[in-house]
Amino acid sequence: MKLIFLGTGAAVPSKNRNHIGIAFKFGGEVFLFDCGENIQRQMLFTEVSPMKINHIFITHLHGDHILGIPGLLQSMGFFGREKELKIFGPEGTKEIIENSLKLGTHYIEFPIKVYEIYTKEPITIYKEENYEIIAYPTEHGIPSYAYIFKEIKKPRLDIEKAKKLGVKIGPDLKKLKNGEAVKNIYGEIIKPEYVLLPPKKGFCLAYSGDTLPLEDFGKYLKELGCDVLIHEATFDDSAKDAAKENMHSTIGDAVNIAKLANVKALILTHISARYDKEEYFNLYKMNVKQYNESFKIIISEDLKSYDIKKDLLG
């Protein structure tokens, strides 16, 4: 599992920060969270392949989070993509994608399925056998959502116990692990609950999108056992008024949510272009250093990659 920050800037891109876009590699595919302008070119400097992206999750419809979609779709078509692409986002996402497909002459022939989210409560919007994606409503002036990736682990098999109960070594063990009852060598029925151990905890990742700080969000993440939180920190703590006025969060806001969530790592992103100036960025870094927490606090950088187990959970 890896996180790759394709863009870490806010509304206006800067020399050091592209518009926002975060890639998450899991199980042979790539999940893309937000797709700001120029994201597909940023991918060229990383290990991220656009053709491996099967799911795009848009937090909200401000331009810095969506303007990279038309070019990305056209490139996928140019390279002969055939696999379906799923795009999730708030109300209005379908219209954005429809309009994107009307721009210029292109070769987009692969299916695109758009799922619009309408909820005031956290809900699972997509689920596979080994993971689920949860949308959490946030506050940013327009419909907006945080996204939570939650890995699903299967129950573990107590092989020694199964042997003692007379289960044959082979396909029957797999059946038990998948929840099917089997007959042992004595003709007795062995149910899965006889030999299954509770599943190990799966990895959990949350991305806030743009939002005012929401303490309930942090508490919800704690209930889920969230490991890594990517939270916007558009401003340093000296700009609390600007953050509130623009419905954003400060460094201190993000740290507080991370505390409530009890995460192992907090990554700050969506950083204002004002911090492109060295003296302002030094202020930002000094602000971060003031927080001596039990979890890691990282300031995101464009094109920076993190091995989750090694760099964030280790």
- Same domain as 185, residue 43: no
Is the pLDDT at 44 greater than 90? The verdict is yes
pLDDT more than 70, % of the chain: 100
d(CA 289, CA 229): 18
Q: Are 314 and 17 in contact (CB under 8 A)?
A: no
Q: Is the same domain home to 184 and 139?
A: no
* Residue 140 labelled as part of a binding site: yes
Q: Are residues 132 and 281 in the same domain?
A: yes
Q: What is the DSSP string of 257-296?
A: HHHHHT-SEEEEE-B-GGGGSHHHHHHHHHHHHT---SSE
Does residue 145 share a domain with residue 183?
no
Verify that 162 and 281 share a domain, yes or no.
Answer: no
CA-based end-to-end distance of the chain: 13
Q: Determine how β-strand 29-33 pairs with β-strand 228-232.
A: unpaired
Is pTM, for the whole model, over 0.75?
yes
118 and 267 within one domain: yes
Residue 105 is predicted with a pLDDT of: 86
- Shared domain check, 230 and 292: yes
Q: 158 among the known binding-site residues?
A: no
pLDDT band, very low/low/confident/very high, at 148 (cuts 50, 70, 90):
very high
Flag whether 55 is marked binding: no
Are 207 and 296 found together in one domain? yes
Burial class (CB in 10 A: 0-12, 13-18, 19+), 169: exposed
Distance of CA 52 to the CA centre of its chain: 15
Q: How many domains does the chain have?
A: 2
Is the same domain home to 250 and 140?
A: yes
Per the structure, the complete domain to which residue 173 belongs is given by: 157-194
What's the confidence (pLDDT) of residue 314?
84
Q: Show the CA angle centred on residue 197, arms to residues 193 and 200, nearest 5°.
A: 140
CA distance 69 to 20: 12
Q: State pLDDT tens for residues 252-280.
A: 999 999 999 999 999 999 999 999 999 99
Confidence category of residue 75, pLDDT binned at 50, 70, 90: very high
Identify which has the larger pLDDT, 182 or 178: 182
Tell me, yes or no, whether 247 and 287 share the same domain. Answer: yes
3-state SS class at 92: coil
For residue 303, the domain's CATH number is 3.60.15.10
- The catalytic residue positions are 64
Confidence of residue 179 (pLDDT cuts 50, 70, 90): confident
Coil vs helix vs strand at 94: helix
